[in-house]
Amino acid sequence: MSYEVVETDVLVIGGGAAGLNAAIAAQEQGARVVVADKGVIERSGDIGGGVDHFLAYLELEGDWDTREAFLEYVWRIGKGTGDPRIIDVVFCSELKEAIDRLERIGVLVGRKEYRRHERDGFPTPSGKVELYSERLKEWGFDPIPIYRELPETPHSDPDLAEEFPLIFTSWKSGPFRHSGGRQIKALRGLHPEPVVWIHPETAAEVGIEDGDWVYVETRRGRIRQKAKLTEDIAPRVVGVDYAWWFPEKGPEAQFGWAESNVNVLTDNKGPFNREMGTANLRGIACRVYKE
C-alpha cells in the first residue's frame, strides 16, 4: 500500500450535508479542502440521514461502477420510454434484483420480520412488555413513566410567566427535511416563509392578525415569523417553524440564519433531561408580539 501526503487548509471528516456545505464554502473562499467521509475511516457501511452509504472496498459489478452506467441501466429498465412511472419500476418490480446484487457484492441487507417476539420475546430482561422496568430502576431512574413539569414554563416558574406567558413548541414544514431545501425553488414555492401557529384568542389579545409578521421571544433572544391563526393549537402555546434560513441573503448576511431560526430561542446549557441528558428544545416560556 502506498501513501501520499496532501497539504490542506481545511480537513472535513464526515458531517453529512453540513460538512459538505462547510467544505464548499471554504473552497469558495480559496482554501485548499480535503473531505474524508468518516465511514471510510471507521467502517465499511453507514446508514444516516435516510440514505445508505455503502463504502466498503468491494469488487463491484462492472455495469454499475459509473453514474452513466447506472443511468443507462435505469433507462433500460424503463424500456426507454421516459415514463415517470419508472420510479415504481426501479423501486418496486426491480427491487428484488437490486437486493440480490447487493448481497452478492457483500452488502448486508436487513430483512423485515413480523411477530418475532412470539419466538424470541421482547428485548427486555423478562422477555415481556414491561410497563414497570427493573432495568431503569437499577440505573436509578423511575421504573414507570412519570410526568415532570419542564423547568422553564409558566407553571414551573410563575415569575417568568409575568414576562413570558406562553409556551413555544416547534414543527417541521412538509416540503423540507430539517434545514435542507430552502434553496430549491420548487420546494420553497410550496412554503416560502417561516410560519408560526397562534390561536386566534391569543392573537386577539396582542392585536395580531393572520399574515402579520410577528416576533417570538424568550429570555435568550427573539426571531420573526409570519403569523398563521389556527384553532389547531392550544391558546397558551405557539408553534414555531423549525430550522429556517434564507439562502437568497447570501454569505455576507450569514444567510439570515438568526432572523427566524428556532435555535435563537434555545440553548444547550441545561438543565438537561435526567434520563437522556439532552437539552430542552421545546416547552419553553415565550411571548409573541406584532413586528
Mean pLDDT rounded to a whole number for the chain: 80
Whether residue 166 sits in one domain with residue 140: no
- With a cut of 70, say whether residue 74 has pLDDT above it: no
Kindly state the average pLDDT of the residues 111-117. Answer: 84
Residue 153 in any domain: the answer is no
- The backbone torsions φ and ψ at residue 290, rounded to the nearest 5 degrees and listed phi first, read -70, 145
228 and 104 belong to one structural domain: no
Give me the domain span that covers residue 80. 59-112
In a domain, 2, yes or no: no
Cell 436487513, located at residue: 110
Same domain, 140 and 245: no
| Residue 170 sits in the same domain as residue 284 | yes
The closest of 169, 232, 238 to 202, measured between CA atoms, is: 238
pLDDT at 243: 94
Rg (CA), the chain: 25
Give me 103's grid cell: 448481497
What does pTM read for this prediction? 0.62
- How, if at all, do strands 284-290 and 213-217 pair? antiparallel
Residue 74 lies in a domain: yes
Same domain, 271 and 169: yes
Is 210 inside a domain boundary?
yes
Residue 107 pLDDT > 80? no
Query: 179 and 260 in one domain?
Result: yes
Of the pLDDT bands very low, low, confident and very high (cuts 50, 70, 90), residue 97 is: low
- Whether residue 137 is found in the same domain as residue 204: no
What percent of the chain clears pLDDT 70, i.e. is strictly above it? 70
Q: Tell me which residue of 220, 218, 222 sits closest to 267, measured CA to CA.
A: 220
Cis? peptide before 271, omega within 30° of 0: yes
Q: Is the pLDDT of residue 59 over 80?
A: no
> Please, are residues 176 and 187 in contact by the beta-carbon 8 Å criterion?
yes
For residues 193 and 268, state if they share a domain. yes
Q: How many domains does the chain have?
A: 4
Of the ranges 69-83, 177-191, 194-208, 233-247, which one carries the lowest mean pLDDT score?
A: 69-83
**Within 13 Å and on the Cβ side, how many CA atoms surround 171?**
16
Residue 282 pLDDT > 70? yes
Residue 17 has pLDDT above 70, yes or no: no
